[in-house]
Amino acid sequence: MADGCTPPDRAGELLPPDATVKTHTDSTMKLLFANGAIVILQPRSQLRVALFASKDSLEALKNLIARTLESFESTTNLDLKSGTVLIDVPTLKKESKFEVTTPLGIAGVSGTRSYVNTRKNCTAVGVSEGLAVATPLLDESVQVRPNQALGLTAKGLTPANANEFQYIQTLSAATATPQKNLQQVRPVGGSLPHAGNHGSPHPSSQGNRKTPC
């Protein structure tokens, strides 16, 4: 494609290193990683697989079914240019790292169901199960716990807009991938950041003077 994006041609296609994928208004896309992680691009989203390093092979589809611990440590860095991704990451090894980078900060996840939404002035990180660590450009890292969402802006942390919680409510159903649908998942070949603030990132803890994301 002229824009350098990898088109969603057919299910089961292996993405090359450093691939960029893009969805249109009426489409979504599921990516399967060899460590068992599933990433679902929502409509009007663009994502670059900046780095994926693992000694596991795509026979690790077994990870997707049984959600067993990955065989080897892995490093995943996804660059979300725009839009929304739903993330279902199985339990990873302690040494493994799974991060989503956006223009306004980074979300680190391990063994969690979460989402990252980025737009012009704000990135939102929400969790339905497990734990994520959100790191804005100009603030300390903070944990995002189940049924919580947090905004990242150029000025630091901020409460997430109430509309963001719709992603949390539908996350578990969206990330469920029965075995019969494995052929429809696009495979990708090939320790959490320290949180300076371990307290709850509930919007009220960020102060009432900050504008919601």
Domains of the chain with CATH codes: 20-175 (2.60.120.1440)
Structure tokens at 43: 């409509």
Distance between CA atoms of 142 and 144, rounded to whole angstroms?
7
Question: Going residue by residue through the chain (213 aa), what tens digit of pLDDT does each one get?
Answer: 334 455 545 667 788 888 999 999 988 998 988 888 889 999 999 999 999 988 776 654 554 555 566 778 889 999 999 999 999 988 888 899 999 999 999 999 877 899 999 988 899 999 988 999 999 988 889 999 988 899 999 988 888 777 776 777 766 666 554 444 333 334 444 332 334 333 333 333 334 446 667
Determine if the pTM surpasses 0.85: no
DSSP string covering 77-115: EEEEEEEEEEEEE-PPPTT-EEEEEETTEEEEESSEEEE
Tokens 């704000």 found at: 122
Residue type, 148: Q
Alpha-helical runs (H) found in the chain:
61-66, 165-175
Q: What are phi and psi of 147, to 5 degrees?
A: 65, 25
Residue 62 sits at φ, ψ, to 5 deg, of -60, -30
